[in-house]
Every structure is written in structure tokens, then in C-alpha cells.
């Protein structure tokens, strides 16, 4: 392997030497390769001699004839992309993007008691806990390979999402609770693997695993996407916190899908997709035979000095209960974000039946498959001033009983999860943002049991 690397380095060095008219720049490169042990003493001396001789000859030699560009599709030229981190090779563009974050999170939960049990509550109950952990986003590393073939823009997309905390592997994979012990390892949540086919006037077809349509805008515009928000378990941290998931909206999730998106028509875009059906997490055992369906319409415009992003999305899926019976889970959400100069404000609302709360199909029905209703909302405001950003939000998610029998059987079921969030951010560099955040979370059961917690988080997030 070392011989192979050394031979490759010599080949690269020869190429650079043969195309350079200045001994200083290429000589410095050769010295670095020699110092790192990639070039042997013999190779270094020989290449340095050739470099010096070529530089001397270049003083009196006539200018070289212009080199004709290679034919399109030759596949031999590698060059940097115009933007982002990546390169073009063989007619394809390969781009890399990623993020890393970490926070010190101190969560002060309410003292446990007979009246603090809230099934489905997002609030931690117990003594104060501290953790060094990811926020709502784990880290991620994305690779996008795109090209144009036969007039079509095609692409392959992969997204890996590793956390910094050790994972306790189980039914939810890397999203299980954490395992804060020695010799444990972090988990990788491979959320994205999909292809795209697009063409001007046609729109885009997506096939694979990616973010859903219902609830997509709710999380992508949420200020806690960059921070912990409501932490969830803090004594054994998993890959992510809750942010505002379950305290304002249902998590869209990353799902297998075939989705078509129209071209933009004066700022208006529509998407519709067929999705892998999801089984209930808490209801009766299912044997689903029909897919789920989701749709989204988004509109972007500018009215005077006001930028406006508005959306509406929906979801529906039939659930077949093993042994007989069925129910339909459905929901709709809508929201709008207005931006004026350094200020942006957002309002969001969702309503659902048989969809549950916090994540898709959690507490969506009672034990007999009778559907529960749910709804939620959040409001937020952001002020940017130079490198500083001040942001705040309030939101809540509500879950209703299926019927009177459900109320008798499940009195401690969550009725309302809510939180208030305040943030201050500082853009240290174009890649790195430092963040401080305070979150107050509150959960209330249908029998009025309740619990609260106060969370302080300090850390940073990097994007490239």
C-alpha cells in the first residue's frame, strides 16, 4: 500500500512539475511530500532537479500553444465545483455537505410524586441531570452525485446521521435510548438514500428514503432544529433531543417513498407521494396491505418588502388490524413564515385523527383500534443583528380520548405537552454558530397529573 501511495504521489508530482513554470511553488510541494515520507530521497532529488531545469528553460522558451479543451464526456478531467465542497469528474458532480454539533445540557426535572405520572409526557421527572449530547439534529454527512443524461438531470443522494452519544441498540435502531458506559459506540442513522430524476418543465421524481411531506415545513423552520429544545431523556442521551417535536408538531420522519414535485409556477409548487405504510407504535397489531399517501403545496413570494413562505400538507393511511377491523389515520397542517429585513415571524397549526402525537402513530388509537384526535400549534419570532440572533417560540400538542371507555382505561394519558424556548446565537464564522438556550417544558395528563422541567443548553453547531 505504501508503495502504491508513493507511486501515485510521484505521478502527481511529475504532472505538477511538468506544467509549472515556477520552481518555487512546485519545489515547496515536493518538499512537503518528501517531509511526510511519501517521496523517497532519490525521487525527491530527481524531481527537484527536473523542476529547476524546467523553470530555467521557461525564461527563454516561447509561450506554449493554447491547449484545446477535451471533448465533453471524456471523463479524464477533474475540477472543483463552482460552489460547495466537491468536484466534477466524468460528467458528474460530486458534492459533500455535513454538520457537527454538541451541547452541555442541564435539565432540572420536577420531583417525582403520585401526581407527576403523565403517559406520553415529554417532561423529565426526577433529579437534575447533566449531559454532553447532540441537539435535535445529530451530526450528518451527505453525498450527492448528480449529472445530466439524455436531457434529464439525475442524482443519487445519501445521508448518514451519526450521534456523539453511545446508542443502546433495540427496536428503534440508533434512535433507541442512549448507553452512557465505557466501550459503547455511537450509532449511525442512515436516514437518506434516494434517487432523483428531473427536467425543466417536468418537475422532479424522487424514489427512495427521505423526509416526509406532512410536517416537513414545521420542523425545517423550527428554531430548535439547531438546538436541544425539550431534551427528552437526559440521563442516558440518545442521538437526538425532541426540540419542539411533540410540543407543537408531529415529527415528519424519514420514510420510503415515491414522490413527484411539480415545477415552480410563479412561486407555487406541489408534491404528492406514495409511502410505505407505518404500523401503530401503541395500538393493536396490524397487517397493512395499502400504502400511505402524503401531499404538500408550498408558495413563496415577496410582497413589497415582505418575504412570505406558506404551506399546507396532508397525510392519510388505512390501518388493517390483525384479526379484523381497520381505521384510517389522517392529518392536515398549514403555516406561514413572514420575513421583513432582520425580523421573521411564523405561525403553524395541525389537526389529525388516528395519527397520534409526537411521532407518527404514537397513541393514535386505544387498545381496540378506536382513533384518537390530536392537534397542535407553535409561534416563533427571530431577530437578526449582525452576527447575533435572538429567537423565541411557544407551542403545544394536544391529544384527545377516543371515547368515554378510553378515558376510564387511560386517565394518566397525556392531554397537553407545551414549551417555551428562548435562544441567543452568535455566528463565530460562516461555518460555526455558538448557541445558548433556555427551555421550559410542561406536560399535563387528562386526570390533571402534571410535571415541568427547566433546561439550559450551551454549545455550538457547524455546517459545511
Q: Quick: pLDDT tens for 419-432.
A: 999 999 999 999 99
Can you tell me the distance from the alpha carbon of 330 to that of 103, in angstroms, rounded to the nearest whole number?
Answer: 36
Which residues of the chain have a pLDDT value below 50?
Answer: 1-25, 55, 57-75
How would you label 277-314 residue by residue, b for 16+ Cβ within 10 Å and e otherwise? Answer: bbebeebbebebeeebbbbbbbbeeeeeeeeebbbebb
Backbone angles phi, psi at 173, to 5 degrees: 60, -135
- pTM here? 0.82
Locate 146 and state its grid cell: 448528480
**Residue 9, pLDDT score:** 41
DSSP state of 286: B
pLDDT in tens, 45-99: 666 666 555 545 444 444 444 444 443 444 456 777 766 799 999 899 999 999 9
Spatial contact of 205 and 260, defined as CB atoms under 8 Å apart: yes
Structure confidence by residue, pLDDT tens digits, 296-342: 999 999 999 999 999 999 999 999 999 899 999 999 999 999 999 99
For the chain, the average pLDDT equals 87
Amino acid at each position: 500500500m505504501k508503495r502504491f501511495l508513493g507511486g501515485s504521489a510521484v505521478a502527481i508530482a511529475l504532472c505538477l512539475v511538468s506544467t509549472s513554470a515556477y520552481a518555487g511553488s512546485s519545489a515547496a510541494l515536493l518538499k512537503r511530500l518528501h517531509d511526510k515520507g511519501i517521496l523517497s530521497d532519490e525521487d525527491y532529488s530527481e524531481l527537484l532537479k527536473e523542476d529547476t531545469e524546467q523553470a530555467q528553460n521557461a525564461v527563454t522558451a516561447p509561450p506554449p500553444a493554447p491547449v484545446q479543451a477535451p471533448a465533453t464526456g471524456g471523463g479524464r478531467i477533474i475540477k472543483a465545483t463552482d460552489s460547495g465542497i466537491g468536484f466534477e469528474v466524468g460528467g458528474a458532480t460530486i458534492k459533500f455537505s455535513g454538520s457537527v454539533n454538541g451541547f452541555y445540557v442541564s435539565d432540572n426535572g420536577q420531583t417525582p410524586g403520585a401526581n407527576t405520572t403523565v403517559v406520553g409526557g415529554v417532561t423529565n421527572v426526577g433529579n437534575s441531570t447533566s449531559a454532553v449530547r447532540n441537539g435535535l439534529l445529530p451530526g450528518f454527512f451527505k453525498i450527492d452525485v448528480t449529472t445530466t443524461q439524455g436531457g434529464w438531470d439525475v442524482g443519487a443522494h445519501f445521508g448518514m446521521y451519526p450521534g456523539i452519544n453511545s446508542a443502546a441498540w433495540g427496536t428503534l435502531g440508533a434512535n433507541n435510548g442512549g448507553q452512557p458506559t465505557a466501550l459503547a459506540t455511537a450509532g449511525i442513522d442512515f436516514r437518506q438514500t434516494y434517487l432523483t430524476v428531473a427536467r425543466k418543465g417536468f418537475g422532479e421524481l424522487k424514489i427512495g428514503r427521505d423526509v416526509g411531506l406532512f410536517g416537513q415545513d414545521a420542523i425545517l423552520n423550527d428554531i430548535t432544529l439547531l438546538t436541544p429544545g425539550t431534551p427528552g431523556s437526559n440521563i442516558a442521551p440518545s442521538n437526538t433531543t425532541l426540540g419542539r417535536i411533540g410540543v407543537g408538531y408531529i415529527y415528519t420522519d424519514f420514510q420510503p417513498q415515491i414522490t413527484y414535485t411539480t415545477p415552480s409556477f410563479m412561486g407555487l409548487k406541489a408534491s404528492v407521494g406514495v409511502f410505505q405504510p407505518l404500523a401503530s407504535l401503541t395500538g393493536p397489531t396490524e397487517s397493512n396491505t395499502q400504502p400511505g399517501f402524503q401531499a404538500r403545496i408550498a408558495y413563496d413570494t415577496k410582497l413589497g418588502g415582505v418575504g412570505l413562505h406558506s404551506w399546507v400538507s396532508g397525510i392519510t393511511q388505512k390501518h388493517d388490524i390483525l384479526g379484523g377491523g381497520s381505521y384510517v389515520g389522517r392529518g392536515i397542517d398549514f403555516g406561514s413564515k413572514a420575513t421583513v429585513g432582520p425580523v421573521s415571524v411564523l405561525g403553524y397549526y395541525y389537526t389529525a385523527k388516528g395519527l397520534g402525537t409526537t411521532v407518527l402513530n404514537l397513541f393514535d388509537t386505544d387498545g381496540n383500534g378506536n382513533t384518537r384526535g390530536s392537534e397542535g400549534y407553535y409561534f416563533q419570532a427571530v431577530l437578526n443583528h449582525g452576527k447575533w440572533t435572538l429567537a423565541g417560540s411557544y407551542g403545544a400538542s394536544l391529544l384527545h380520548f377516543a371515547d368515554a371507555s378510553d378515558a376510564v382505561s387511560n386517565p394518566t394519558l397525556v392531554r397537553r405537552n407545551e414549551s417555551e424556548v428562548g435562544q441567543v446565537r452568535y455566528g463565530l464564522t460562516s461555518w460555526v454558530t455558538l448557541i445558548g438556550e433556555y427551555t421550559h417544558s410542561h406536560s399535563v395528563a387528562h386526570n390533571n397529573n402534571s410535571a415541568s422541567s427547566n433546561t439550559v443548553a450551551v454549545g455550538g453547531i457547524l455546517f459545511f
